[in-house]
């Protein structure tokens, strides 16, 4: 149930999920609207990006930010007041804020920790049984004090399904993290519409930005440099070679699914969908088919936006090689 849907309802125990990713962030683009309800027309209406935002409109942006922040805390208040007896705030550690202990600044979880709300950690079976055992004596109204037992939720998974088959090993988790870093640096150093490309950072700067060690940062920079300087990929990153380009482009598939394309490059007669992976799998690898289907959905969505142009895709790996899996 959403928090908005819970308005007017109450429950003995309430669990709020993903509280570590609730901070209000400044959008890179958006619409500014200043409209007094008593007026027939708005006083101001415009679209903006980080590059096009003028000082004259910064006041409106700040007003929008304060309104959003106020609504964000109102929403938390609604969630907190749904609980009668017990309330749990749950969150996922942020890999981008490891130096802050994984807490996202100004998130509900971070503010709760600042307020010294008790943090629940895993208990061993002995202490769990002792702490959460229900008293044998029934509670009577004459008692002046009592300890209400904590609610402990135990989930054993879907019947007939082994959790071990879905668990990721340490190497696979590390691979996924390195893939995220690879994506993040390519997004910043490649030029796109409304945003200039950043210079390739030094390992120390990248390590500080991503919250990783300098060895990992150096390896990530090397991979990005191989892609950005690859002779076979030059036209995809050189603004003089193409008409337009978009990084992290959101599109919608025919079945209504939200998709995000790593990079879309528009030339005079065609568009190229780029998808970044650390490596290109062999055709016998199940990932090969999975990537094919993914690229097919991307191309299908782009064709709806550009029906008069050829659309093709390219899977790019960390060595600076590209492969067209749909041929």
On the 0-12 / 13-18 / 19+ scale of CB atoms within 10 A, 170 is exposed
14, 87 contact by CB (below 8 A): yes
Mean pLDDT check: name the lowest of 54-58, 178-182, 223-227, 314-318: 54-58
Each residue's pLDDT tens digit, 202-240: 999 999 888 889 999 999 999 999 999 999 999 999 999
Bridge partners (DSSP) of residue 314 are: 274
Q: Which two tokens stand for residue 200?
A: 């390739």
Element of type H or E holding 244? strand 244-252
The answer to whether 301 and 287 are in contact (CB under 8 A) is: no
Question: Strand 83-89 and strand 11-16: pairing?
Answer: parallel
Distance between CA atoms of 71 and 63, rounded to whole angstroms?
Answer: 12
Beta-sheet pairing, 270-276 with 310-316: parallel
Check the CA dihedral 193-195-196-198 and report its sign: negative
Q: How far is CA 55 from CA 43, 62, 63, 193, in A?
A: 17, 11, 14, 21
Q: Which two tokens stand for residue 102?
A: 């994984």
Sorting pLDDT into bands at 50, 70 and 90, what band is 275? Answer: very high
| Cα 14 from Cα 2, distance rounded (Å) | 12
| Residue 122: band (very low, low, confident or very high) from pLDDT cuts 50, 70, 90 | low
- If one counts every other C-beta atom within 10 angstroms of the C-beta of residue 62, the result is 11
| Measured distance CA(155)–CA(153) in Å, rounded | 7
C-alpha–C-alpha distance, residues 273 and 255, integer Å: 19
* Stretch 303-320: mean pLDDT: 94
Query: So where are the chain's domains?
Result: 4-114, 170-232, 234-323
Question: What pLDDT, on a 0 to 100 scale, did the predictor assign at position 317?
Answer: 95
What is the predicted pLDDT for the residue at 121? 57
What pTM was estimated for this model as a whole? 0.52
Judge whether 146 and 58 are in contact, CB under 8 Å: no
Q: For the packed helices 170-189 and 214-228, what is the interaxial angle rounded to 10 degrees?
A: 50
Residue 220's CB is within 10 A of a number of other CB atoms, namely 26
Spell out the alpha helix ranges (H) of the chain: 58-80, 108-114, 125-131, 170-189, 203-210, 214-228, 234-237, 286-305
pLDDT per residue over 20-48, tens digit each? 888 777 666 778 888 877 788 888 888 87
The per-residue pLDDT for 243 is 93
Give the residue-averaged pLDDT of 174-192: 90
Strands (E), 6-92: 11-16, 29-34, 44-49, 83-89
Residue pair 320/229 in contact (Cβ under 8 Å)? The answer is: yes
CA distance linking residue 228 with residue 239, whole number of Å: 13
Q: Which CATH class is domain 234-323?
A: alpha beta
């Amino acid at each position: 149930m959403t928090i908005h849907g819970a308005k007017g309802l109450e429950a003995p125990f309430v669990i709020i999920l993903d509280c570590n990713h609730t901070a209000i962030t400044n959008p890179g683009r958006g619409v500014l609207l200043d409209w007094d309800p008593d007026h027939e027309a708005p006083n101001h209406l415009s679209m903006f990006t980080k590059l096009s935002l003028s000082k004259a409109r910064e006041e409106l942006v700040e007003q929008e930010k304060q309104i959003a922040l106020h609504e964000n805390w109102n929403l938390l208040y609604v969630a907190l007041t749904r609980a009668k007896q017990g309330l749990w705030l749950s969150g996922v550690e942020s890999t981008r804020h490891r130096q802050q202990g994984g807490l996202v600044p100004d998130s509900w979880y971070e503010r709760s920790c600042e307020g010294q709300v008790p943090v629940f950690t895993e208990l061993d079976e002995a202490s769990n049984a002792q702490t959460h055992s229900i008293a044998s004596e029934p509670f009577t109204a004459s008692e002046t004090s009592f300890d209400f037992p904590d609610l402990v939720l135990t989930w054993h998974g879907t019947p007939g399904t082994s959790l071990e088959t879905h668990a990721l090993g340490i190497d696979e988790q590390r691979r996924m993290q390195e893939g995220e870093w690879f994506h993040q640096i390519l997004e910043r150093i490649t030029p796109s519409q409304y945003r200039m490309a950043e210079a390739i950072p030094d390992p120390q700067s990248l390590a500080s930005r991503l919250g990783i060690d300098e060895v990992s940062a150096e390896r990530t920079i090397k991979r990005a440099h191989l892609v950005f300087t690859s002779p076979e990929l030059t036209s995809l990153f050189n603004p003089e070679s193409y008409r337009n380009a978009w990084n992290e482009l959101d599109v919608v598939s025919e079945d209504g699914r939200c998709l995000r394309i790593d990079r879309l490059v528009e030339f005079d007669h065609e568009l190229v969908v780029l998808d970044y992976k650390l490596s290109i799998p062999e055709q016998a690898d199940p990932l090969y088919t999975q990537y094919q289907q993914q690229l097919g959905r991307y191309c299908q969505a782009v064709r709806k936006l550009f029906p008069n142009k050829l659309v093709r895709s390219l899977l790019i790996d960390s060595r600076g090689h590209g492969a067209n899996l749909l041929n």
